[in-house]
C-alpha cells in the first residue's frame, strides 16, 4: 500500500469534497481511502510536501498525430472553409506520416499532456500513408510514458476503397490484440473520420465490425455545415439521423463536435445515450460554429470536453468553454457550472465507459490517477469555490507531480518514464523529414 500524507485534496466529481489535511491511500490500481488524515495505515509513506492534490485531467477527444504540426510551413495556404483546412493541411499531414513520425508525434503530444496534468487521453488517429500497425506505435508510446490511452484509426474513403478497407482492418486487428493483452491502461474504440468521407458500403462494414466486437465508435459529427449539407443531399438525413440509421450511435459511441444538428437530432443523441465531446478552441480556430452545449446538457446528454489536438492544455480549453458560451448566449449566467460538469463530472463518466474503470475522481474504488500542484491559495479555497481557483488562478505552471495508475510519471516537474529532452531533440530531426514529405505532396 502507498500512503500519501501532508496534502490538501480536491476530489472532483458530482459532489466534490475538499480535505485540508488530507491523506490518500492506494493499493496497486485502486484508491483505498481518500479523506482527512485521521486513521493509521501501514505501507510506504510519501510526503506530499503541503501540495494540492486533484484528479488527473482527461482529454476526451485528441489527435496526437497532429503534434508535429507546430510551425509547419504552409505555402499559398488561404483556406476559405473547413474543407480547405482539411485538404490543404490535415489530410496532407496524415498522408505524410510514417512509422517513425507517428511514434515521435505521440511521444511529443503525450509528454506535453503529462506536463499539463493530463492522465487520460482519448485519441483519434489518422495516418493514411502508414495504416497497418500504426496503432501499435501509439500503444508503444502509452506503455513507455505510462499514460492512460484510448485510440483508434479514423476509417475514411477519402483516399479510395483500398485504404478504407485497410483502415477498417487496422481497427479490428488492434481491438482484438488489446483484448488478448489485457493492459488496463489502454482501451480501444472503433474510429471513423466523419460521415461525409464514408461511403454507404464502408459505413455498413464499420457497423458490422463494431457490432461483432461489441465496441463503441469514435466519429466526428457535423463539425462543419458541409457535413450536414452532404448528408442531407446524399441521404436526405441529418448527420445524426444517418448514423442512427446505420447503427453507429449508442452508449459507447463518441460523437465529436455535434455542431450542425437540429433539435430532433439532439433528441436522438439523448435517446441512444451517445456521448458528445465539445472542443471549443478547435471549433473557433476552424471557424465552424458553436455547438449547443447548454441545450444538450439541459437534455441530460453526457457531454465532455476535448482539445481536438489543438493543444494538450485542458486548463485553457476549460477556460475558453466557460467564456465562449457566455458570449454566444449573451448570458453571463451560463458556462461556469457547465464547464465544471464537462471536465470534472462528465469526462470521468466518459472515461469510465471506455476503460470500464472509475477514472477521474479521488474516491475509494477509483484508479489512482492524480496530479499535485505547488499552490499557496492567496484567497480561501474550499470544495465550493475550487473551480473559481481552477479558472482564475491555477494553470499547468503549478503542476509538479503526475501519478497514473498509482505510479509517479512526473515528479517535481521531471518526467520519470521517458527522457523528454532527448525525445524533443530527436523529434526536431524527424519533423524536418516529415515536413519535407508534406511540402512535396
Ligand atoms: Zn477531431
CA of 310 to the centre of ligand 1 (A): 9
- Asked if 123 and 109 touch (Cβ cutoff 8 Å), the reply is no
CA of 114 to the centre of ligand 1 (A): 20
How far is Cα 38 from Cα 143, in angstroms, rounded to an integer? 36
CA of 257 to the centre of ligand 1 (A): 8
> Which ranges of 77-124 does DSSP label H, i.e. alpha helix?
82-85, 91-96, 99-115
pLDDT value of residue 189: 98
CA of 13 to the centre of ligand 1 (A): 25
- What is the mean predicted confidence (pLDDT) over 33-59? 96
CA of 174 to the centre of ligand 1 (A): 20
* pLDDT at 419 exceeding the cut of 90: yes
The pLDDT confidence band at residue 169, using thresholds 50, 70 and 90, is: very high
- What is the mean predicted confidence (pLDDT) over 15-21? 97
pLDDT value of residue 71: 96
CA of 416 to the centre of ligand 1 (A): 29
How far is Cα 276 from Cα 258, in angstroms, rounded to an integer? 7
* pLDDT at 299 exceeding the cut of 90: yes
CB count within 10 Å of CB 225 equals: 14
Round the average pLDDT of the chain to a whole number and report it.
97
* pLDDT at 173 exceeding the cut of 90: yes
CA of 265 to the centre of ligand 1 (A): 20
How far is Cα 104 from Cα 114, in angstroms, rounded to an integer? 15
Q: How many residues does the chain have?
A: 441
pLDDT value of residue 272: 98
* pLDDT at 300 exceeding the cut of 90: yes
CA of 393 to the centre of ligand 1 (A): 29
Grid coordinates in use for 344? 470534472
Question: In the 8-state DSSP scheme, what is residue 342?
Answer: I
CA of 375 to the centre of ligand 1 (A): 33
- What is the mean predicted confidence (pLDDT) over 37-57? 96
CA of 192 to the centre of ligand 1 (A): 10
How far is Cα 315 from Cα 47, in angstroms, rounded to an integer? 26
Write out pLDDT tens, residues 252-297. Answer: 999 999 999 999 999 999 999 999 999 999 999 999 999 999 999 9
- Asked if 14 and 379 touch (Cβ cutoff 8 Å), the reply is no
CA of 366 to the centre of ligand 1 (A): 28
How far is Cα 231 from Cα 226, in angstroms, rounded to an integer? 9
Angle between helices 200-213 and 161-181 (to 10 degrees): 10
- What is the mean predicted confidence (pLDDT) over 124-141? 98
CA of 67 to the centre of ligand 1 (A): 13
pLDDT value of residue 425: 96
Integer CA distances (angstroms), 402 to 113, 217, 270, in order: 11, 29, 35
The pLDDT confidence band at residue 323, using thresholds 50, 70 and 90, is: very high
CA of 220 to the centre of ligand 1 (A): 6
How far is Cα 317 from Cα 339, in angstroms, rounded to an integer? 10
CB count within 10 Å of CB 213 equals: 15
CA of 100 to the centre of ligand 1 (A): 22
- Asked if 314 and 118 touch (Cβ cutoff 8 Å), the reply is yes
- Asked if 216 and 249 touch (Cβ cutoff 8 Å), the reply is no
Which long-range contacts link 212-215 to residues 24+ away (Cβ below 8 Å)? 213/172, 213/175, 213/176, 215/175, 215/188, 215/189, 215/190, 215/252
The pLDDT confidence band at residue 178, using thresholds 50, 70 and 90, is: very high
pLDDT value of residue 145: 98
CA of 52 to the centre of ligand 1 (A): 32
Write out pLDDT tens, residues 375-405. Answer: 999 999 999 999 999 999 999 999 999 999 9
pLDDT value of residue 441: 80
CA of 193 to the centre of ligand 1 (A): 8
How far is Cα 291 from Cα 72, in angstroms, rounded to an integer? 29
Integer CA distances (angstroms), 19 to 4, 41, 188, 314, 381, in order: 13, 17, 35, 24, 10
- What is the mean predicted confidence (pLDDT) over 213-239? 98
Q: What does the H/E/C string look like for 264-282?
A: HHHHHHHHHCCEEEECHHH
CA of 24 to the centre of ligand 1 (A): 35
Integer CA distances (angstroms), 61 to 14, 211, 218, 312, 338, in order: 21, 22, 9, 10, 18
- What is the mean predicted confidence (pLDDT) over 75-103? 96
What is the distance of C-alpha 25 from the center of its chain? 27
CA of 219 to the centre of ligand 1 (A): 8
The pLDDT confidence band at residue 80, using thresholds 50, 70 and 90, is: very high
* pLDDT at 39 exceeding the cut of 90: no
Cα end-to-end span (Å), the chain? 55
CB count within 10 Å of CB 278 equals: 31
Amino acid at each position: 500500500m502507498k500512503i500519501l500524507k501532508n496534502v490538501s485534496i480536491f476530489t472532483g466529481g458530482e459532489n466534490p469534497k475538499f480535505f485540508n489535511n488530507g491523506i490518500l491511500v492506494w493499493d496497486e490500481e485502486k484508491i483505498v481511502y481518500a479523506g482527512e488524515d485521521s486513521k493509521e495505515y501501514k505501507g510506504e509513506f510519501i510526503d506530499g510536501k503541503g501540495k494540492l492534490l486533484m484528479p488527473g485531467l482527461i482529454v476526451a477527444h485528441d489527435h496526437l498525430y497532429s503534434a508535429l504540426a507546430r510551425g509547419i510551413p504552409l505555402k499559398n495556404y488561404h483556406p476559405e472553409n473547413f474543407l480547405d483546412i482539411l485538404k490543404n493541411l490535415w489530410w496532407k499531414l496524415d498522408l505524410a506520416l510514417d512509422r517513425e513520425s507517428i511514434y515521435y508525434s505521440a511521444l511529443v503530444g503525450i509528454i506535453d499532456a503529462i506536463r499539463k496534468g493530463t492522465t487520460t487521453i482519448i485519441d483519434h488517429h489518422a495516418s493514411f500513408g502508414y495504416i497497418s500497425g500504426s496503432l501499435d506505435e501509439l500503444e508503444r508510446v502509452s506503455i513507455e510514458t505510462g499514460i492512460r490511452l484510448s485510440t483508434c484509426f479514423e476509417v475514411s474513403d477519402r483516399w479510395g476503397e483500398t485504404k478504407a478497407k485497410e483502415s477498417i482492418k487496422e481497427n479490428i486487428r488492434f481491438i482484438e490484440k488489446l483484448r488478448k493483452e489485457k493492459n488496463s491502461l489502454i482501451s480501444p474504440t472503433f474510429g471513423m473520420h466523419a460521415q461525409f468521407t464514408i461511403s454507404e458500403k464502408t459505413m455498413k462494414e464499420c457497423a458490422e465490425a463494431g457490432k461483432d466486437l461489441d465496441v463503441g465508435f469514435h466519429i466526428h459529427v457535423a463539425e462543419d455545415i458541409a457535413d450536414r449539407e452532404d448528408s442531407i443531399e446524399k441521404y436526405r438525413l441529418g448527420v445524426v439521423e444517418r448514423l442512427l440509421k446505420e447503427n453507429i450511435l449508442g452508449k459507447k459511441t463518441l460523437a465529436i463536435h455535434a455542431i450542425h444538428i437540429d433539435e430532433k437530432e439532439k433528441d436522438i443523441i439523448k435517446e441512444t445515450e451517445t456521448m458528445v465531446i465539445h472542443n471549443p478552441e478547435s471549433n473557433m480556430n476552424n471557424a465552424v460554429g458553436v455547438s449547443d452545449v447548454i441545450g444538450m446538457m439541459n437534455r441530460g446528454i453526457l457531454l465532455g470536453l476535448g482539445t481536438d489536438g489543438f493543444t494538450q492544455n485542458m486548463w485553457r480549453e476549460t477556460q475558453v468553454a466557460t467564456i465562449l458560451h457566455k458570449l454566444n448566449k449573451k448570458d453571463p449566467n451560463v458556462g461556469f457550472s457547465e464547464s465544471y460538469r464537462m471536465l470534472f463530472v462528465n469526462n470521468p463518466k466518459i472515461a469510465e465507459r471506455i476503460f470500464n474503470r472509475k477514472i477521474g475522481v479521488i474516491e475509494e474504488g477509483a484508479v489512482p490517477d492524480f496530479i499535485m500542484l505547488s499552490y499557496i491559495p492567496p484567497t480561501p479555497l474550499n470544495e465550493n469555490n475550487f473551480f473559481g481557483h481552477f479558472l482564475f488562478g491555477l494553470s499547468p505552471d503549478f503542476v509538479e507531480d503526475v501519478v497514473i495508475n498509482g505510479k509517479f510519471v512526473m515528479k517535481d516537474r521531471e518526467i520519470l518514464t521517458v527522457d523528454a529532452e532527448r525525445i524533443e531533440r530527436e523529434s526536431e530531426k524527424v519533423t524536418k523529414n516529415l515536413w519535407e514529405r508534406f511540402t512535396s505532396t
